[in-house]
Chain A
């Protein structure tokens, strides 16, 4: 049931991401709510379930966009799985670990996306590290501890696995 509830939250986040978030946040770069949720789920439930949630998040993003030809599914799945591995190897901290997980997952996600999109001919530009990736890392990094706290206490209440 908690996984179904989380999937509904992912759908709501997709809706927000593609409708009002540009109006609410006056930045040129917007946070990736779907990635933040996938990372938060991974920190709660581990690598495998984080990968599945990332996979779902990517599928929802493809439905809303459809431009990347399935790349989002791969990148979010990998980032979700990778974030879950952090829990096994890093000293648990309720703020720093989610912050680092959110920021590093963003960097990995955008790098993978750029590589795959360039190889498949979807985009043709230099890696926009300063103009796109750094602001998004900051936004996602700051958002992840908050979302992680909410997800851990309201969705995945079983804390026996992780932070």
Chain B
């Protein structure tokens, strides 16, 4: 070891303890630490620069693909317009029936658009950082979605940044429901996928069924798309079934999201 390193050892120990204390405190309090705010201030600016360079090249490719997709989308729009008419009719009927039963209307959500400015650098935890925080109305434990489906929930919030735990994170558990059979379960993250557990053993669920949020619990509203079942598992003598779920959201290309605030 060269002489220049000797004085670094006490500094390294102190810096390590400081980082651990600050980050642990951040996890416990739910607020991002000073180091996080400083770090993501830098990465936010650098990330935007890198994204704009990438955006230039992806725009060139996207222009070529857009022309072919336009025709396909026109046909899909026509089909969806027909479906909208049908759904509006059903919504009106639903409203009348609710009024008859004097049910409370569901709480309205406000969407806060956010951009991703960072991700967890490892492969174990699936978290991202967005560029909205307390100042923009974001709070802890708010659901985060995209047009494709559920992304996760906010876990740490600072003035201008927030951490979002993705549904694939091993620490995340989402009360879920299979749309076709109405079977309830819990969707757990496994790090690389989502597994729905505690599905009743005689539920007739199949590959291809859609999984949505069930609305149970205080965080996720009912009806948010989670993913599609790709494999059903039931061990002999087990009380429950489980199913592997492929999320609708493409997390590897995620750039923008919407935070749902009450």
Contact = CB atoms under 8 A, between A and B. Distances in A.
B190 A65 contact: no
Given A66-B36, A132-B191, A20 B122 contact: no
B191 A69 contact: no
A59 B80 CA distance: 51
B192 A28 contact: yes
Interface stretch (B113-121, B130-138, B204-212, B229-237): B113-121
A59 B20 CA distance: 9
A123 B170 contact: yes
A111 B250 CA distance: 28
Given A23-B253, A28-B252, A128-B191, A64 B16 contact: no
Contacts of A70: 16, 19-20, 23-24
Contacts of B192: 28-29, 128, 131-132
Contacts of A90: none
Nearest to A65: B120
Question: Chain A contact residues: over half helix, strand or loop, or mixed?
Answer: helix
A72 interface: yes
A104 B19 CA distance: 28
Given A29-B123, A64-B120, A69 B36 contact: no
Contact of B19 (A28, A63, A67): A63
A138 B63 CA distance: 35
A68 B118 contact: no
Contacts of B47: 19-20
A26 B58 CA distance: 14
Interface string B93-118: 00000000000000000000000011
B19 A65 contact: no
Nearest to A74: B16
Q: How large is the interface on A (under 10, 10 to 19, 20 to 34, 35 or more residues)?
A: 35 or more
Interface in A58-84: 59, 61-70, 72-73
Contacts of A128: 190-192
A65 B125 contact: yes
Contact of B54 (A15, A20, A32): A20
Nearest to B253: A23
A34 to B, nearest CB: 7
Interface in B8-60: 8, 12, 15-16, 19-20, 23-24, 26-27, 33, 35-36, 39, 42-43, 46-47, 50-51, 54
B147 interface: no
A160 interface: no
B123 A67 contact: no
Contact of A59 (B16, B43, B121): B16
Interface in A105-128: 113, 117, 122-125, 128
Given A28-B252, A52-B8, A136-B123, A66 B190 contact: no
B125 A64 contact: no
B4 interface: yes
A19 B50 contact: yes
Contact of A17 (B1, B117, B121): B121
Interface of B: 1, 4-5, 8, 12, 15-16, 19-20, 23-24, 26-27, 33, 35-36, 39, 42-43, 46-47, 50-51, 54, 117-125, 127, 170-171, 190-193, 252-253
Given A32-B121, A128-B191, 5 more contacts: A19-B117, A19-B118, A68-B122, A73-B19, A131-B191
10 contacts: A15-B46, A19-B119, A49-B5, A63-B35, A63-B39, A64-B43, A66-B26, A67-B127, A128-B191, A128-B192
Interface of A: 3, 14-15, 17-20, 22-23, 26-30, 32, 34, 48-49, 52, 55-56, 59, 61-70, 72-73, 113, 117, 122-125, 128, 131-132, 136
